[in-house]
Chains A and B, each alone.
Chain A
Amino acid sequence: MGTNNVLAAVRRVVADPRMSWAHDPQLWVELFVTMNLAILAADIYIAHSVNHFQKWPEYIPLYFSICAPVLLAIVIALRWIWNLLAPWRDIGYLLGWLSIFIGLGGVLYHLESRFFLDRTLKSLTYAAPFAAPLAYTGLGFLLLVNRMVEVRTSEWARWVILLALGGFFGNFVLSLSDHAANGFFAHTEWIPVISSALATGFLLVPLVMPVTRRYLDLCMVVMLAQGAVGVLGFWFHMQANLIEPGASLWDKLVNGAPPMAPLLFPNLVGLAFVGVWAVLPHVPEPESGQSWLGVAYAWAETERQWFAAG
């Protein structure tokens, strides 16, 4: 009885017309990009403090990450509160392209720190994390996808999954090269490598072949595991930083294990959720009760439509 009441209450909240925004995957992607750009400001500040912002281009991503989320927040509000489409579209395009170029330029700058000197695997390991700036490129593409591809279509959903997959593949490369710099001194350093490889493999399938909702269930389990790996990694990195020598906590954070890097895992899980959620309507319905994700989707969507109609 009590459980039924709770479920009913949750249904009402989910299906409330005032919560219609929460059912809009396009908005979730916009919020994902905005939040990530804002977080990148802090991340870039820590990362480039290692060499005291030695070169002026190192300030470009910092200033971009400070300004872009503010602008995006404004145009998102204009679009979803006041239905002003044009500013959201045009500012989004501008920021999207800028983000893409900043990311690609960043890769070149990072490789220049060592790789272009020697071009060895070792120098790739010890270059500034060369794949990291691609986070900007990925976020830029998300902004473009949200504007150039019709939302709720299968194509849109698969683009989002592709970009989440790109993120996990980036995690695979970064965790491999960063931990190789430690010589994988702790065996636990292999966890994110294996974990991100699994995430990459599982997200690859919906892009290359038709999948069932049961497979998407499995994808979500793999994604939840990624989230746990990220939290565990955050703990390990913080623990290492607190133990290691350093003049101050800031010094330890700047020069030690990057504390925010593992949080990329749960972060990308969010994007993968949006993609999988959006691909669900385009996947054949299973027999009743055979897909957790399908049931949850049907439950929320049906109720929302029922309440909207009612």
Chain B
Amino acid sequence: MSFRSVFIAVVSAFALILAAFLVNRARPRVETDQPTADFVRASGKCAECHARLQYSVVHEYEMSNHAKKAVNCLDCHQPAAGQEKMDHHGFVISKHLTAGNCRGCHEPIYQEYLRSRHAVPSWAAVHGTQGLTPEQVDFAETYQPGSVKRPPNPLTVPEGHPAVTSGCEQCHAVGKPNSDGTVGTCTECHSRHTSSVELARLPTTCAQCHMGPDHSQIEIYNESKHGIMFAAQRSLLKLDADPRTLTTRDMFVPTCATCHMSGINGLKVTHNPSDRLSWYLAAEVSTKRPNYLQAQINMKQVCTQCHTQAAIDRVYAQAEQVLAGTNEKVLAAKAIMDGLHKDGALSGPPFSHPIDFTYFNLWHYDGRTSKHGAFMGGADFVQWHGNYEMLLKHTELQHQADELRREHGHK
């Protein structure tokens, strides 16, 4: 046997082995340093099928910060505590993803969210305490008193189950109790696979729910200076800036998130918008929140990143005057309704008589719009969509009340 033949065989074999080691070594450690082989395989193996079946899912994930930080498919899709498992082509994944899957890495954020009205109170606004555990009710009542121990919304009965499922729940499921004991899904605001902070900062994301006559925040924002500037200068904003280092250079025009949640210029980030809200504006008759003073300080701190203190105080003072005026108008209308009930001129279940709708529209649409418009810089909404409408409906209400009294033989 010649040495040359053995030499060539061994050297060429070793060259191949060396090449294999070098190629493998060049692979990012974040891809290979995982607790199990399944975790290593997850993203690529998942993409093999999903690049054909639901390509946008893979593409969205590839663009996400999760992908940049090597969070793979299984990191999110593995069953969290209490979740139903299912076998999926060689992987064990969760049947339904919830906030329970996000909290593994984002627990402090989940805790902030849990204390907000986006959590259980949002669900209770439709269903009351139905589906909630006593612990969930107590927890939410601790941080949002009176928001959960309430009956289901009276409109759910006359409007019916399909309307509630495809209507109300589409927004109020942001606080839906999950079978794993957690509440809500973060993807309502952050989307599923982009997991995007940019998306959460867009006004249109909040506008999925905060729109329409009953809570017309997006319409008011679009009319406000903030909204006008956002429309004009959106391309100049760094909507995807890191929340921990966000400054007014990134977001020199505010969106909903900037004022209500972001930690701009070193302020504390919060996933509980209540931290900066001093009034229950959505209430029939608005009252101060328990943390009124602190919340107002918090919000004014955000305002001072762009505005002078004098301007901020003026806006707040004017808005609180509008709020007080709106309360007076609602209370006046309420007195008429209470009088009708007391005198027996109005009876039956809720929403069974035209005057029920007139009163409901007065506070639920116009009253809220007036108050939101005042705090958010929406002049037209304070006036024409708010106070003018309240005046109109008050007149109609009075007329309907007189009619009812006549029908029932009262003077």
Residues of A at the B interface (CB closer than 8 Å) are 50-51, 54, 113-114, 117, 121-122, 125-128, 172, 176, 180-186, 193-194, 197-202, 204-205, 208-209, 211-212, 214-215, 217-218, 244-247, 251-252, 254-256
Residue numbers in A under 8 Å from B6 (CB-CB): 215, 218
Residue numbers in A under 8 Å from B89 (CB-CB): 50, 251, 254-255
Question: Which listed residue (B8, B23, B26, B47) contacts A126, Cβ 8 A?
Answer: B47
Question: Which listed residue (A182, A204, A214, A217) contacts B37, Cβ 8 A?
Answer: A182
Question: Which listed residue (A183, A193, A204) contacts B12, Cβ 8 A?
Answer: A204
B238 at the A interface (CB under 8 A): no
B5 close to A200 (CB less than 8 A): no
What is the CB-to-nearest-CB distance from B35 to chain A, in angstroms, rounded to a whole number?
10
Question: Which listed residue (B10, B20, B90) contacts A252, Cβ 8 A?
Answer: B90
A126 close to B16 (CB less than 8 A): no
Please, which residue of chain A has its CB at the minimum distance from the CB of B85?
A245
B17 close to A194 (CB less than 8 A): yes
B1 at the A interface (CB under 8 A): yes
Please, which residue of chain A has its CB at the minimum distance from the CB of B13?
A201
B84 at the A interface (CB under 8 A): no
A172 CA / B14 CA spacing, docked (Å): 12
B314 at the A interface (CB under 8 A): no
Q: Which of B38-46, B317-325, B331-339, B382-390 contacts A (4 or more CB under 8 A)?
A: B38-46
Residue numbers in B under 8 Å from A181 (CB-CB): 40-41, 44-45
Residue numbers in A under 8 Å from B31 (CB-CB): 122, 183
A128 CA / B44 CA spacing, docked (Å): 11
A185 close to B37 (CB less than 8 A): yes
Contact status of A197 and B44, CB under 8 A, knowing A114-B51, A185-B36, A255-B90: no
Please, which residue of chain B has its CB at the minimum distance from the CB of A244?
B90
Residue numbers in A under 8 Å from B208 (CB-CB): none
Residues of B at the A interface (CB closer than 8 Å) are 1-2, 4-6, 8-14, 16-17, 20, 23-24, 26-27, 31-34, 36-37, 40-41, 44-45, 47-49, 51-53, 87, 89-92
Please, which residue of chain B has its CB at the minimum distance from the CB of A204?
B12
A79 CA / B91 CA spacing, docked (Å): 50
A202 CA / B7 CA spacing, docked (Å): 10
Contact status of A251 and B2, CB under 8 A, knowing A126-B45, A193-B20, A201-B10: no
Tell me what chain B mostly uses at the interface: helix, strand, loop, or mixed. helix
A251 CA / B26 CA spacing, docked (Å): 33
Please, which residue of chain B has its CB at the minimum distance from the CB of A217?
B1
Question: Which listed residue (B5, B14, B48, B87) contacts A113, Cβ 8 A?
Answer: B48
What is the CB-to-nearest-CB distance from A302 to chain B, in angstroms, rounded to a whole number?
23
Question: Which listed residue (A114, A176, A186, A202) contacts B9, Cβ 8 A?
Answer: A202
Residue numbers in A under 8 Å from B23 (CB-CB): 121, 176, 180
A252 CA / B92 CA spacing, docked (Å): 12
A256 close to B9 (CB less than 8 A): no
A212 close to B2 (CB less than 8 A): yes
B27 close to A51 (CB less than 8 A): no
B26 close to A121 (CB less than 8 A): yes
Seed contacts A181-B45, A201-B11; 19 additional CB < 8 Å A-B pairs:
A51-B52, A54-B52, A54-B53, A113-B48, A113-B52, A117-B51, A126-B45, A126-B48, A127-B48, A183-B31, A193-B17, A197-B13, A200-B12, A201-B12, A201-B13, A204-B12, A209-B4, A246-B90, A247-B87
Q: Which 6 A-B pairs have the closest CB atoms?
A: A201-B13, A126-B44, A255-B90, A183-B32, A183-B40, A214-B1
Question: Which listed residue (B12, B24, B47, B92) contacts A180, Cβ 8 A?
Answer: B24
Contact status of A205 and B5, CB under 8 A, knowing A50-B49, A184-B24, A194-B17: yes
Contact status of A184 and B32, CB under 8 A, knowing A113-B51, A218-B6: yes
A181 CA / B9 CA spacing, docked (Å): 28
Residue numbers in A under 8 Å from B4 (CB-CB): 209
Contact status of A211 and B92, CB under 8 A, knowing A126-B44, A176-B24: no
Residue numbers in B under 8 Å from A194 (CB-CB): 17
Residue numbers in B under 8 Å from A215 (CB-CB): 1-2, 5-6
A244 CA / B41 CA spacing, docked (Å): 14
Residue numbers in A under 8 Å from B8 (CB-CB): 201, 204-205, 208-209
